[in-house]
Structure 1
């Protein structure tokens, strides 16, 4: 048990270091002067190529293709957009660090021979709350920042087309859309942490009750 706890604690510390470096990069790069690459959600779109025929191979109408996300690299994003992207990355990284910190605390208590103290329940609740809220806030801020980046780089009010080119929409390129893709895996993990912590706490309470009953029985005898 001691070896497993020691290895797990070392791995958790390595995870904290790696996540911390990723967080610093995710905060510094958007805020630093220069180009920033953002995945921007757009309205369903597909390029229309004029005067194209006899495509080989002929896929027919069985496949419908759409572009819903484009990668935008821009150097003229506003500071508000950069701040949203940086804050979203920071919150998401801090959520992961909170869980790793809880693992480190638990491993330390195991090595100290006090794994089931009252602080375990508190640490578990804090880790689960930080994971759920941090992920929610991080994904929301990142989604808003990506939408603003799309508005600042892709949105057009009008254009002039030369030649015989015709476009089905009001823009010859993708139109930014407000869309936040929430990953629910961290929320399920947070619920799992809460359930495990409550089960351990219930087991601790039952063990204490049995010890108290045993002591009272021994006293009567």
Structure 2
């Protein structure tokens, strides 16, 4: 179980905290959905949980054990909103093996199979892939690391309807083995697979309505 207790983030350059007393808990094989507008602190929250930024106060716990940023780098795998900007490998194989030079062929194919890309040549350039395929490859890069928690920043942004549906189906499969925390400004199709839902506004996190209620209201309004 992941617990956030009174988590705050207030960098010296900001006149007000970016995150204010965040409390959250999420269980294995659940997907949590944090919904909020741009500038609400969503990406910052993920960066803290990925060990890329350090909280100002509060606690991050995994199974009752408090975690430091170095621990969080092993616990979580972060998929950025625009993962193609972070690709460094010239081929899919090089991208997957960055930091893992001894990676076996079996692990490579298993990771690609889990995200539905095992049909592609390993010599394909990551930058030649479609937007949806690039999101899938970024997920495979994190799955290679075998994290306990997958962190996704706006995973469906910029994708067309078909690609969004494919990605939602993929996340539904992945949460059978991993804990997922997704942040987005538009819940949309993600509501149907969310187990927990929160809203984040001006750094304040609030428990949202149950995903089933939100899904029903969305259907009524459509």
User: Above 0.5 in TM-score?
Assistant: no
- Shorter-chain TM range is under 0.3
More strand by share: 2
TM-score using structure 1 length: 0.24
* Structure number with larger C-alpha Rg: 1
